[in-house]
């Protein structure tokens, strides 16, 4: 894997790989990125491990027909052991495209940032025929995935 799945533009080995392997994330944003990568690549164990014990589900089933296409961090802050990250992510589920808009809260425990919860909003995307394709190909929607 060369480019990191979290769309940072960095190589996987310089971005999410170490965090997913167990190294402490240096910031809530980096933890958020590693969790996006884990969602995109089906790493359920890591998603549970990086979930704060107070809100962690006992098990997690990822939907099988979901593909992730983009992540944009719109805001990130941290104060002492608390962090907050706002982001937009784009995904395709079955044949529908959605934008996920979420602000997530994180807490640091023993050097490790962990996800607490977030307020997710899902927006169904309906591009026009001549709009750029949602998959990021830079082709027109009608000539690509539309």
State the Cα angle at 62 between 131 and 98, rounded to 5°. Answer: 20
Of 46-54, 84-92, 95-103, 137-145, the segment contacting Zn ion by CB under 5 A is 137-145
Residue pair 71/7 in contact by the 8 Å Cβ criterion: yes
Site string for Zn ion, 30-59 (x = CB under 5 A): ---x--------------------------
Tokens 């944003």 correspond to 29
Coil vs helix vs strand at 90: strand
16 touching Zn ion, by CB under 5 A: yes
Between CA 28 and CA 17 the distance in angstroms is: 16
Of 8-16, 62-70, 80-88, 105-113, the segment contacting Zn ion by CB under 5 A is 8-16
Tokens 């979930």 correspond to 51
Distances (CA, A) of 95 to 27, 91, 124, 146: 34, 10, 11, 10
Q: Which is nearer to Zn ion, 10 or 58 (CB)?
A: 10
Of 54-62, 81-89, 96-104, 125-133, the segment contacting Zn ion by CB under 5 A is 125-133
Kindly tell me the burial class for residue 30, based on how many C-beta atoms sit within 10 Å of its own C-beta (0-12, 13-18, 19 or more): buried
Site string for Zn ion, 75-114 (x = CB under 5 A): ----------------------------------------
Of 2-10, 39-47, 52-60, 91-99, the segment contacting Zn ion by CB under 5 A is 2-10
Residues that bind Zn ion (CB under 5 A): 4, 6, 8, 15-16, 33, 133, 135, 137, 144-145
């Amino acid at each position: 894997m060369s480019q990191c799945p979290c769309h940072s533009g960095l190589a996987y080995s310089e971005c999410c790989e170490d965090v997913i392997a167990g190294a402490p994330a240096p910031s809530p944003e980096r933890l958020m990125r590693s969790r996006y990568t884990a969602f995109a690549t089906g790493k359920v164990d890591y998603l549970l491990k990086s979930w704060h014990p107070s809100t962690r589900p006992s098990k997690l089933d990822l939907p099988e027909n979901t593909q992730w296409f983009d992540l944009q961090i719109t805001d990130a802050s941290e104060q002492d052991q608390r962090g907050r990250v706002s982001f937009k992510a784009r995904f395709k589920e079955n044949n529908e495209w959605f934008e996920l808009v979420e602000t997530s809260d994180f807490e640091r425990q023993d050097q490790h940032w962990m996800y607490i919860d977030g307020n997710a909003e899902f927006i169904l995307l309906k591009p026009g025929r001549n709009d750029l394709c949602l998959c990021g190909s830079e082709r027109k929607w009608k000539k690509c995935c539309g």
